[in-house]
Amino acid sequence: MKKIFLFIAIFFAISNLTAQIYDPVSFTGSVKEIGENKYTLIITAKIDKGWHIYSQSVPKGGPVPTSFTFSSSKNYKKTGTVAEPEGHEVDDPVFQMRIKYFADKAVFTQNIERKSGDAFKINATVFFMVCNDNSCLPPTEKEVQFTFKKTSVSVQNTIEETAVSKEENTKDLVTAESITKQESLNNTTNPVSKSAEATPEKPVKTSKTVTETKTSDENLWTLFFLSFLGGLAALLTPCVFPMIPMTVSFFTKQSKTKAAGIRNAMLYGFFIIVIYVILGSLVTAVFGADALNALATNVVFNIVFFLLLLVFALSFLGAFEIVLPSSWLTKVDQKSELGGIFGIFFMALALAVVSFSCTGPIVGTLLVQAASQAGIAPIIGMFGFSLAIALPFTLFAAFPGWLNSLPKSGGWLNSVKVVLGFLELALALKFLSNADLVLQLHLLEREVFLAIWIAIFSVLALYLFGKIQLSHDSPITHISVGRLSLGIVVLSFVIYMIPGLWGAPLQYISGFPPAKQYSESPNGFGNATAINSEKTALPEGAESGPNGIPTFHDYNQGLAYAKKVNKPVMIDFTGYACVNCRKMEERVWPDAGVSALLNNEVVLISLYVDDKRELPENEKVVSKITGKVLKYTGQKWSELQILKYKTNAQPYYVLMDHNEKDLNTPSAYNPDINGYYEWLQEGIGNFKK
């Protein structure tokens, strides 16, 4: 039973995956000599799969076109206009016009003539809008820089090609009032028709190599590792574990030589990986690279996956089995009798079908998490999962003597399923909590959430101690050391959560339960007089926020109060369903130094971008981003963040003065307490200068 220790770690780790900010287009620059003192500036747009940008020429009333602006200089002059590739043209049913767009890769060119041998730079600013088949991102700018070195002989052949692509750090000031202007950039929420096929443009050969900076995606590595752990968990279920010795013995006995047996087992493992990777590819193709990511705070999304994980949990607990039609297994089993590679492939497929009742809930949970990330996350997730399943078949085929070391199948395999069922049940509650937070229904407040978790893990502890048995469990004559140890761990976790009912911070699970202020008693069960006096001491319009910090939820009220008390403003762009926001509030903000600064040196304005409260009629204005009417409070704050700071990440912290100018560089999620404290000190210090 000590193998079950793995599952607690899998549960808490996989539930912490978060979606990333979209940045699907990158630009690089290069230069090509085309004649004496004549050059072509080449701007290459690399576009993530499933996304597209639009042509420079779009009919009036259509989406935002792509445009280019070049810095002026006496050292060169432009010849002609920016040329663009052929692209794809479709009759868009929404805009009712023919629209041209570019997918995968687009190369734009601008010819110039060099006028002197002096060193100079050309900054090209690209203004564009990027969409996929589900949504569009706000129009944004990126800059590509070309550097020309000084030459005393000739102005040709002296170009240092650079490829610097960076976000435009705009200094425009956007206040809460500025987003009330009914000035739209056209309706951008409807992408071009899906019927158009996206094919990459032909690359342009340049005279020199352009080095592009590649950033590693740590979240994909995390997903791979967690999916691998999920595969190990699936190995220990009664549907898969008994298949290891049976299948390996089959290969070693049926093969004429040991080498042939190892080769066949390796093919078997390879085909297991292929089958699950194909499943991940289908999820990516059906939902789109980022479709579910945009639904992270969507109420329907969270409720649907609460119900889905609830079904998975009940299946693991033995209420019923999730099985595929028996006719599928019959057909696959018949195909497995074929000889050679095809027979091995269908044997692997038969394993996937037979074990579906055990692996299905694990695969489903992994896909829920993976599909809510961007890009190829479902494929990476399924690769990690299938690799963990495939490895034992290959290793035991190569070293058949190891089979003797495997524990015998028995009731412990069913116990693994039950433990997974309890963990699935606890995870499902998080999705339901997200929906409640976004709607602000206060039906699943912190105390209720913790009470349910305490009940779930208490029953799990009793199950591990043998005090509770399910109908399909084998009789327990004794408890193994591993099972007893895991039971103690679970019981300790239950005891740890209990003080949370009275307001304890519970930092080890921060981000899972609702925040302390989202509870029946935000200030804990302390002295009522003290609580009432604290409320009366709050500034007008403010509330007691995280850790009792006075917090404004209205931009203008907070700014007016900051001017009154002569303190800088800290804007906290946050969300009710934002896990990293809760981590900051429960792990970083309680630090004595950070707490002192937030309480005494700044005026905190927390703007919830997923606040579903309806705006008053006089504040329902047309969005500059989508062209649609802003209906909810969260949409108003989201629009402010995107327009002014060119980001939609939460948490996002901004320190500004009374003229709404930034005091230092805004900060995103930063769990480093010292780093966050220094950031606060820097901004506050700049305000006092």
Beta bridge partners of 141: 127
pLDDT along the chain (689 residues), means of 10: 48 44 82 87 91 86 82 89 90 68 92 88 88 64 86 46 37 33 34 32 32 41 79 71 64 66 79 80 57 55 79 79 55 54 73 64 64 64 82 73 61 75 84 80 89 95 90 80 91 93 81 77 54 59 86 92 94 82 86 92 91 86 82 87 81 92 89 91 92
CA dist., res. 595 & res. 53, Å (int): 44
DSSP per residue over 638-689, as a string? HHHHHHHHS---SSEEEEE-TTS-BSS--B-----HHHHHHHHHHHHHHHH-
Amino acid 226: pLDDT:
79
* DSSP reduced 3-state for 59: coil
Rounded-to-5 percentages of helix, strand, coil across the chain? 45, 15, 35
Amino acid 156: pLDDT:
40
DSSP per residue over 200-223, as a string? PPPPPP-SSPPP------HHHHHH
DSSP 500: G
CA dist., res. 428 & res. 302, Å (int): 9
Q: Which two tokens stand for residue 602?
A: 């700044």
Note whether 340 and 254 are within 8 A (CB): no
CA distances (Å), origin 338, targets 34, 333, 611: 61, 10, 59
Q: How many CA atoms lie within 13 A of 598 on its CB side?
A: 29
Phi and psi angles of residue 359, each rounded to the nearest 5 degrees, phi first: -80, -25
Cα-Cα-Cα-Cα torsion 664, 601, 583, 637, nearest 10 degrees, comes to -60
Q: How far is CA 1 from the centre of its chain?
A: 34
* DSSP reduced 3-state for 600: helix
Number of H-type helices and E-type strands within the chain: 18, 17
- Placement of tokens 């039950």 in the chain: 418
* DSSP reduced 3-state for 513: coil
CA dist., res. 210 & res. 584, Å (int): 40
Q: Pick from 305, 265, 275, 572: which is nearest to 432 by CA?
A: 305
| Type of residue found at 632 | Y
Q: Pick from 171, 8, 21, 31: which is nearest to 578 by CA?
A: 21
CA dist., res. 542 & res. 546, Å (int): 12
Task: Specify the fold of 25-148.
Answer: Immunoglobulin-like (2.60.40)
Walk across the sheet containing 569-574 and list its strands.
542-544, 550-552, 603-608, 569-574, 652-656
- Placement of tokens 């060169």 in the chain: 76
Note whether 155 and 117 are within 8 A (CB): yes
Domain positions in the chain are 25-148, 219-406, 410-525, 542-688
Amino acid 183: pLDDT:
34
CA dist., res. 527 & res. 504, Å (int): 16
Q: Which two tokens stand for residue 578?
A: 């934002």
CA dist., res. 652 & res. 669, Å (int): 7
Q: Pick from 21, 376, 50, 6: which is nearest to 223 by CA?
A: 376
CA dist., res. 367 & res. 377, Å (int): 9
* DSSP reduced 3-state for 5: helix
Class of domain 542-688: alpha beta
Q: Which two tokens stand for residue 4?
A: 């079950």
| Type of residue found at 659 | N
Amino acid 683: pLDDT:
94
* DSSP reduced 3-state for 159: strand
Amino acid 58: pLDDT:
83
Helix ranges, 505-649 (H): 528-537, 555-565, 579-583, 592-600, 633-645
CA dist., res. 92 & res. 89, Å (int): 9
Buried b (16+ CB within 10 A) or exposed e, 374-396: bbbbbbbbbbbbbbbbbbbbbbb
- Placement of tokens 């592009």 in the chain: 212
Would you tell me how many other CB atoms lie within 10 Å of the CB of residue 329? 16
DSSP 365: H
Q: Pick from 149, 126, 150: which is nearest to 53 by CA?
A: 126
DSSP 134: S
